[in-house]
Chains A and B, each alone.
Chain A
Amino acid sequence: MNEPSDVRAADVLCRPTALTALALWCVNDHVLKYAYPGWLTGKLSDVASLIVAPLLAACLFDLAFPHATARMRRKLFLLALVAIGALMFSVKLFDSAAWAYRWGLGLLQWPFRSLTGLLADGSARPLRAVQLAMDWTDLLTLPALIVPWWLRARKSSGDVCAQIVAGDDHVGVQAP
């Protein structure tokens, strides 16, 4: 078993807390925000994204540097935490950062929207910016960055992916 200092981000992402945050982020963005627009749903996605995004970034680091040492992975994870926090801080306060976010994310979404459009009606979609509310009170959710740090720091107890395999091993090996 990995020591806490040698944890892979993908393992942390499979833990119930992270999976719950990911599910909440997804459902809140695409269902709850439209059904119940307001302060709470606005902040929920911020909290959930601050939990999941650093883990995702760390996963990508792990994929990019598969032979990185545990120490290096730990440093990259901390870097991801700082980078996500800095991104959140800047896009909520600075117009230029918000502009870059709107168009950058719009650029990332564009291939998928165009593909959907091509399949639906045969026409590609124009490149568009995405919505971003520059609400400084969203920065109050920044302490949520403690959660991914805490998840990675503590010993694994709930890797859902691992439990599927573990269940296979445990069932049926009891003494008669």
Chain B
Amino acid sequence: MSTYNPQRPTPRLRWLRARIAALGKPAILLLGIGTSIATSPEEPFTRSSRDVGSVALGSSRHVVVTLSQSMRNEAFEVIISFTVGKDAAETQVQVEPDKPGWPVVVRTLVPPATPGARGELDIDAPEVGSSLPADAGSPEEVPTVFLQYNLRSVACDPETAASHPKYCADWHQLGAQCADHGPCRLGFTLTVLNTESTLDTEFNFGAAALRYDETEWGLKCTAQTDFTDKATIEAKFDE
């Protein structure tokens, strides 16, 4: 005999349960397929050119690219290109995986040119986690080491570097060479090697070809790192 039971679900509730049951398996199947497709995030360092706007050349302003924690398992390359007039130059920085000191901060300097000239910077860098640009200091903060033209390798001046532990710089004077030949083009590779025991990183500032007009007396190429006084700079110039 059937009797009234207040706990018995109403027809509307029974209908709702039946609908949920009917939709349950397809919904779970769709959720599973969706989870399978979305299981891996996009490769974060597919390059995308990013225009960071005009910068005042000659100001030694530099660009900071901060890379996110999620990228620490992969080696990749950051390319920073800059345009001076009709000429372009490019800086490549190879970032090694899983090194101490993440997130990695990559810096490059805009080469100086005629005061007041302006250039464009494009960053080919990972989209995820990158933040740019950042203006980190004036030229006065950068200690300089003078090189002779044919010198291919030089260590930082320990005293200078020790007094400015954040920076190590290389400065090359080309005045006479350019003055003799008029507009000139120079290719160079600037590598900063860190020999400090806690870090084992090499920043390769790549090859760059910059041209200056005959009124310009020198080319100043500067590398900055977070290394301390154990850093070594190698500057190799094209023949």
In the complex, the chain B residue whose C-beta lies closest to that of A55 is B32
Question: CA A119 – CA B69 in complex, angstroms?
Answer: 29
What is the interface size of chain A, counting residues whose CB is below 8 A from a CB of the partner?
A: 45
Closest-CB distance, B48 to chain A (whole angstroms): 8
In the complex, the chain B residue whose C-beta lies closest to that of A9 is B29
Q: How does the 8 Å CB contact mask read for B1-45 relative to A, with 1 for contact and 0 for none?
A: 101010111000010011011001100110111011111111110
Q: Is the CB of A161 within 8 A of B32?
A: no
Task: Identify which of A11, A37, A168 contacts B69 (C-beta below 8 A).
Answer: A37
Closest-CB distance, B2 to chain A (whole angstroms): 8
Cβ of B70 under 8 Å from chain A: yes
Cβ of B163 under 8 Å from chain A: no
Cβ of A66 under 8 Å from chain B: no
Q: Is the CB of A164 within 8 A of B37?
A: no
Cβ of A72 under 8 Å from chain B: no
- A108 contact set on B, CB distance < 8 A: 37
Cβ of A65 under 8 Å from chain B: no
Q: Is the CB of B24 within 8 A of A29?
A: no
- A22 contact set on B, CB distance < 8 A: 28, 31-32, 35
Q: How does the 8 Å CB contact mask read for A25-53 relative to B, with 1 for contact and 0 for none?
A: 11001100010010000000100010011
Cβ of B114 under 8 Å from chain A: no
- A167 contact set on B, CB distance < 8 A: 17
Cβ of B198 under 8 Å from chain A: no
Question: CA A25 – CA B28 in complex, angstroms?
Answer: 13
Q: Is the CB of B5 within 8 A of A172?
A: yes
Cβ of B46 under 8 Å from chain A: yes
Cβ of A118 under 8 Å from chain B: no
Cβ of B73 under 8 Å from chain A: yes
- B20 contact set on A, CB distance < 8 A: 164
- A25 contact set on B, CB distance < 8 A: 35, 39
Task: Identify which of A106, A113, A172 contacts B8 (C-beta below 8 A).
Answer: A172
Question: CA A109 – CA B31 in complex, angstroms?
Answer: 14
Q: Is the CB of B42 within 8 A of A165?
A: no
Q: Is the CB of A172 within 8 A of B25?
A: no
Cβ of A10 under 8 Å from chain B: yes
- A29 contact set on B, CB distance < 8 A: 35, 38-39
Mark out the residues of chain A between 137 and 176 whose CB falls within 8 Å of any chain B CB in the assembled complex. 160-162, 164-165, 167-168, 171-174, 176
- A78 contact set on B, CB distance < 8 A: none
* Known interface pairs A14-B24, A25-B35, A133-B73; A171-B9 also in contact (CB < 8 Å): yes
Other than the given A161-B24, A165-B18, 6 more pairs (CB < 8 A) read A13-B28, A56-B29, A109-B38, A131-B41, A131-B74, A160-B24
A-B pairs, top 6 by smallest CB distance, nearest first, are A172-B8, A161-B24, A130-B40, A172-B5, A164-B21, A165-B21
